[in-house]
Structure 1
């Protein structure tokens, strides 16, 4: 990477929800931005933790035993193997970091295709 990356500019390039866009790579990981609204599917990642950093808006991560609520500048890591369901009442912008190739639903058959911007 030879240039700085403006996350707001990258987020302005698309409008779809729950469709992460890779903005760069870091040590075998994808650094992604995503717009979310409404609820995502209950899922888990058997091999990896799931990293969420809220850039704008408010995100609730439903776990089986509690809810984690995040605002701008707050992050949460869902441990591998733990079922969770992200939910955003209003459009929310997130930064995600995952090992390259990790399916966003935990299942390659239902995952969003990787898009690089």
Structure 2
């Protein structure tokens, strides 16, 4: 199969759910995922995987357990190192976000929540 461009705006238009990553690509053992975020997610960490957040629209707010908070604006990325507990959230707006993470990364790490997605879909 020959490589084809992926239209990210088009992919974002295919879903409205929040906190539910959708897979759009795969490379070097990693998935490229899109998700829409709003309000607050759960505190969690990924013991063995770093996680990259890339913001396309809005402002992502990332809280860390040491009371450190980072704002990630449109066009910026944030890499959360493995083992670091974090909680993504927004100021109420819907944030369009892309994630890069190893294929085996569990959505909420070892934390089980009503927001945990066990099977992520390709779009």
Report if TM-score (shorter chain) is over 0.5.
Answer: yes
Aligned residues: 117
TM-score (norm 2): 0.90
Structure 2 unaligned segments of length 5 or more: list them: none
Q: Deviations over 1:28-59 (max 9, x none)?
A: 10001100001000000000011101010000
Equivalent of residue 103 in structure 1, options 98, 103, 106: 106
Q: Give the structure 2 partner of residue 92 of structure 1.
A: 95
Q: CA RMSD in A?
A: 1.3
Query: Mean alpha-carbon deviation: is it higher for 104-113 or for 21-30?
Result: 104-113
TM-score (norm 1): 0.94
Q: Distance in 2 between matches of 1:88 and 1:8?
A: 20
Q: Give the structure 1 partner of residue 49 of structure 2.
A: 48
Q: State the shift of 1:104 in Å.
A: 1.4
Q: State the shift of 1:107 in Å.
A: 2.7
Q: Distance in 1 between matches of 2:74 and 2:112?
A: 31
Question: Which stretches of structure 1, 4 residues or longer, exceed 3 Å deviation after superposition?
Answer: 108-111
Structure 1 unaligned segments of length 5 or more: list them: none
Query: Mean alpha-carbon deviation: is it higher for 97-106 or for 12-21?
Result: 97-106
